[in-house]
Amino acid sequence: MAGTEGGRDWAYRVDPYGFERPDDFDYASYEAFFSRYLVVLTRRAIKWSKLLKGKNSIQKSLKVKRYIRKGIPNEHRALIWMIVSGAQANMEQNPGYYHRLLEGEKNDKLVEAIKTDMNRTFPDNIKFRQTADPCLQDTLYNVLVAYGHHNKAVGYCQGMNFIAGYLILITKNEEESFWLLDALIGRILPDYYSPAMMGLKTDQEVLGELVKLKVPAVAELMERHGVMWTLVVSRWFICLFIDILPVETVLRIWDCLFYEGSKIIFRVALTLIKQHQAFILEATNFPDICDKFKQITKGTFVTECHTFMQKIFRI
């Protein structure tokens, strides 16, 4: 089906979010997974529809937390992210603020830095190409420029482009993407993207301590070979698993991140390390360890997002 060349399999070569699938993409195992996952998605969609009852509001509760952990259907995802992150309330309390940021005076240095990264953002996504109509690069540019002027302490740094890009793909709304970016950078992940990146550095150290407790053999291997955690996991934290784990899995992680905060990142990181402990321990030198950490983010364990998410809450 998907292996044939020609126009009819274009739909298989590009995922629902616009990302082109790599040449070595395993269509057979993905389709086997997705046919099972579709049953889960259908069941969850019915439950969410009953929970929302056609309203655009939701109250935080243990039931909602449980529902979020089991996955938010795509048709409700933007709404739920907006509500549980506080972005919706912020947007409603500041009408017109986003557009005023875009109309205001610009910092040339900031604008230049953002422009430089435009073509580097998701070159494998057809919606971000300059030939696309509409081209999401324009939306991305606006969100990042507005955010850089809103939060001058952070301005713009690499990684933010990918996060804003994902938000745009899900919300399909420029202003909502801006307020969700603000929720992530301003509240959920404070000091991840500030010039000193203190929050990021601290959280990577915390992960190192957690690995010592939960997977001591891996911590000992890292220490013995002088591999710093920042070397193997900094992209996990900075990009919130974008371009590291499959799109569906990243979105399921983000569902929980918006509700429960940054501890979700630790749960995901620890699950990846613990699940592949034996494989990591086969490493005999520094480059070998780095390579193992790249490999543990691939394969069926991470593609099967529903069982993967169940695993992270058992750690």
Give, for all 315 residues of the chain, the pLDDT tens digit: 444 444 446 667 999 999 999 888 889 999 999 999 999 999 999 999 999 998 888 999 999 999 999 999 999 999 999 999 999 999 999 999 999 999 999 999 999 999 999 999 999 999 999 999 999 999 999 999 999 999 999 999 989 999 999 999 999 999 999 999 999 999 999 889 988 889 999 999 999 999 999 999 999 999 999 999 999 999 999 999 999 999 999 999 999 999 999 999 999 999 999 999 999 999 999 999 999 999 999 999 999 999 999 999 998
In sequence order, what are the residues at sequence separation of 6 or more whose Cβ sits closer than 8 angstroms to the Cβ of residue 210? 266, 270
Torsion sign across C-alpha atoms 40, 41, 42, 48: positive
In sequence order, what are the residues at sequence separation of 6 or more whose Cβ sits closer than 8 angstroms to the Cβ of residue 72? 44, 48, 80, 81, 255
Q: Report DSSP letters for 244-313, one per residue.
A: TS-HHHHHHHHHHHHHH-THHHHHHHHHHHHHTHHHHTT--SHHHHHHHHHHTTSSHHHH-HHHHHHHHT
d(CA 203, CA 206): 5
Domains of the chain: residue spans and CATH? 7-76 (no CATH), 91-188 (1.10.8.270), 198-312 (1.10.472.80)
In sequence order, what are the residues at sequence separation of 6 or more whose Cβ sits closer than 8 angstroms to the Cβ of residue 86? 183, 187
Instruction: Give the amino acid at 230.
Output: T
State the pLDDT at residue 301. Answer: 96
State the pLDDT at residue 9. Answer: 65
CA angle 290/294/296 to nearest 5° reads 115
CB 159 within 8 A of CB 239: yes
pTM for this structure?
0.94
